[in-house]
Chain A
Amino acid sequence: MELTDGDLLARILVDGDQHAFGELVRRHQSPVRGLLRQLVRADVELADDLAQETFIRAYKHIRSFRGEAKFSTWLYRIAYNVFREHVRKRRELVGIDEEQLQAEADPQTVDPGLRHDLMNALASLPLHERTAVTLCCQNGLSHDEAAHVLDIPLGTVKTNVLRGREKLKKMLAAWAT
């Protein structure tokens, strides 16, 4: 019988079992890396570096996980914080701000020949809408869980998802006709 995330967490907390943590990494690496790839716009190496940092931070702070949310939701929250810290460091290094990062892929500059590609369409969304759509529509989180991950009000999450979906629908409509 396969152990649940709770069983594995108990082993880590009680016995310091690193193999149990390895199993958790194996289970959750794909969605966490997928989310970070969306956030950094498919820069695979950077996304994997941030994902590694996410899991290492999760291990160091495993005792602060209270089980109030799902383990995966807790991991997404750490991943999002790691990403935000990366953006902040990058801003300090090269003097760009988050708005500039968000505007890097303006919808107008996307190659029209690739507009049918949903990944490009997603990448063209502003960061807050892209993150909300990725968490709720791709990773299957509820609006409540996404609000917890992003540490923003529930209404803001709903608005961001709605706006992001509307933009994506417009892009898909153009592609479909």
Chain B
Amino acid sequence: MNDPLDDLLDARLRDETPYIDDAGFTRRVMKQLPRRRVSWSSQRSFIILAATILSVVVAYFASGEGMFVHDAFARISGLQQLQLFLVIVACGIMMTVAGLWVALARRHETIV
């Protein structure tokens, strides 16, 4: 059986733990936080975007001002309907798989 004084003490200790109202405390802390640095994920996104634009520009001029695009469209326009349909389905599947892979990778990062 518990000592009544122990019970009294436990009850009093719990009672003596009131919730302290925030009263602007969080705001004061947030104002004193060091300035936010650009996160690595933002930097990475910027680097990938810049590299992509640069690559497109280089490829455009290195390929006779985009003649390969013109040629590719010419080849596609020469495909039969079924071949064109299969190309579109294949592209769709590849994009879906890539999207799912990125989404699952991000979810794994969040859990860890």
Closest beta carbon of chain B to A72's beta carbon, Å:
14
Stretch of B36-44, B51-59, B89-97 at the chain-chain interface: B36-44
User: Is A64 an interface residue when CB atoms closer than 8 A count as contact?
Assistant: no
User: Is A21 an interface residue when CB atoms closer than 8 A count as contact?
Assistant: yes
Give complex CA distance A59, B30 in Å.
Answer: 10
* Contact call B109/A18, Cβ cutoff below 8 A: no
Contact with B along A65-108 (1 / 0, CB 8 A): 00000000000000000000000000000000000000000000
Q: Which of A131-177 contact B (CB under 8 A)?
A: 133, 137-139, 165, 168-169, 172-173, 176
Q: Tell me the nearest residue of chain A to B19, going by C-beta.
A: A30
Q: Tell me the nearest residue of chain B to A121, going by C-beta.
A: B12
User: Is A34 an interface residue when CB atoms closer than 8 A count as contact?
Assistant: yes
The number of A-B residue pairs with CB atoms under 8 Å apart is 86
* Contact call B16/A119, Cβ cutoff below 8 A: yes
Residues of A within 8 A of B18 (CB): 34
* Contact call B32/A165, Cβ cutoff below 8 A: no
Closest beta carbon of chain B to A168's beta carbon, Å:
6
Give complex CA distance A14, B32 in Å.
Answer: 21
Dominant SS at the B interface? helix
Residues of A within 8 A of B14 (CB): 138
* Contact call B13/A14, Cβ cutoff below 8 A: no
Residues of B within 8 A of A48 (CB): 25
Q: Tell me the nearest residue of chain B to A67, going by C-beta.
A: B112
Residues of A within 8 A of B17 (CB): 34, 138-139
* Contact call A59/B6, Cβ cutoff below 8 A: no
Give complex CA distance A176, B32 in Å.
Answer: 47
- Out of B9, B20, B33, B37, name the residue touching A33 (CB < 8 Å): B20
Known contacts A56-B32, A133-B13, then 4 further A-B pairs from the complex at CB < 8 Å, ordered by chain A residue: A16-B38, A25-B29, A52-B28, A119-B16
3 tightest Cβ-Cβ pairs between the two chains A and B: A16-B39, A30-B20, A137-B13
